[in-house]
Structure 1
Amino acid sequence: MGRLAFGSIGDSFSVTSLKSYLSEFIATLLFVFAGVGSAIAFNKLESDGALNPSGLVAIAVAHAFALFVGVSIAANISGGHLNPAVTLGLAVGGNITIITGIFYWIAQCLGSIVACLLLKFVTNGLSIPTHGVASGMNGFEGVVMEIVITFALVYTVYATAVDPKKGSIGTIAPIAIGFIVGANILAAGPFSGGSMNPARSFGPAVVSGDLSQIWIYWVGPLIGGALAGLTFDNIFIGSQNAYPSSNDYA
């Protein structure tokens, strides 16, 4: 099963750890600024604000590019999680301690909130779009959708960045991670919004004041991330392999 490690407060407040939290804050801020900003830009360009195929593609591409960059710039400092679901998925495999993971969550959520506050300011008060399930869907269906697509994301993280046997494929990990997020937004965007990331949904919900559906984007991604971590760690990595250092996974 999983290899959860609680960790210690001392280790979680070392200089290296503090730099990691700052890295997660900055990288998540830049990712959310570009991702949410693309949605705001589309809504401004479209007079009726309705999401059409071209808008969906544009938003998916913006998120894919922004996540590729965000993972790349933070990978050598914090591992480039940018996502509480990724952090949890790595924690169940013993790649990060529980205490450090909690501080990652805080940094990621703060980065998302600050990004949305900045967007609110620079766009002269335009509304911040939030995630929500499509008309005709219920919360449970949204949770299942988010579980599936987040499983795909964290599974990709493990396969391309965590697995000790990854070899040269590890060099393209940020690209693969960005691509799976873009593809999942194309598939799930019209239904659950395609979040895969509690922090990505939390910032807009807080700044807009609409927390009515935020539980979907915590429950679904966290379950999906944990399941992916348990699956890959137990089946494909196994106890015989040493785990990579924090700089070797995204």
Structure 2
Amino acid sequence: MLGIHKRNGIWQDGLATVMGPELLERWGIAEDAEASRVREIVLVRLNRVLDHFRKPEMPVIVWTAYNLGAGSPGEESGVVRRLERLVGQGEVERSVRTCTRRFNDVFLPAVVKSLSGGQSAITDGDLARASRWLAANIRPGAPEPAAAAGGLSTAIKRLRAPMEPVLKMFLDGTVHGPADGDGVPLAAKLGAQGEWLCVFTGEGLLAAYRESAGAGWPRIGRWTGRDVVRTAAGRIFPTGILIDPSPVMGAGADATLPLPPEEIARLAREC
């Protein structure tokens, strides 16, 4: 449990492994849960412990320690470095030593103590809020970029370019799309724009696209974003990925996230 804040905090790969089977069970997280769902539940559980503290500086100290709203999800700077930056930027009127003690000697023991009590149920609304906080990489209670729900789909609508928190949600989460007879994602040839794998963040979006476009695919597949990236990177022709494409050419651009072949090559090296 104490490892959740290490390295790049809540964003670290293998978070469920770091937590261990006992904590996963105590917090109601399935051992085979997708990484994005693990983060959402961890965020909700930690936030419920934090709600018991009344000192106004505690939220920013705690979430900085866990690397939420504190920097890049890929930055493995560690707790002390993140708190040093927090203090240096004047976001909290406490010394680095005080911030570190508040986290290590006050908050972490409170988390441990909370495990001995009953764990209240987590609702779909709780998970939706956590998904939005993670998508925007903001602390609970901070102003949200837009008032909407929908996890990855909503995060895409806010983007002008692929951002790391949203890409991580895509890689760790589940998408749906047209597949061939073997269950491999089908590539669409878009003329001069090259070849693309089209995937959708929800089955409803896929069904709406299929009905609108009158598409007849051999199969419908379900994969993680990482699986789709590896498939695209392994094709002979440079292939991009279109997330939540519109059936109408030139429409719905605000809800579609294109990952061009050069971005796929970068992501594949990190998968």
TM-score (ref. length: structure 2): 0.27
Structure number with the higher helix fraction is: 1
Q: In terms of Rg, which structure is larger? A: 2
Structure number with the higher strand fraction is: 2
Q: Which has the higher contact order (CA 8 A, sep 6+)?
A: 1
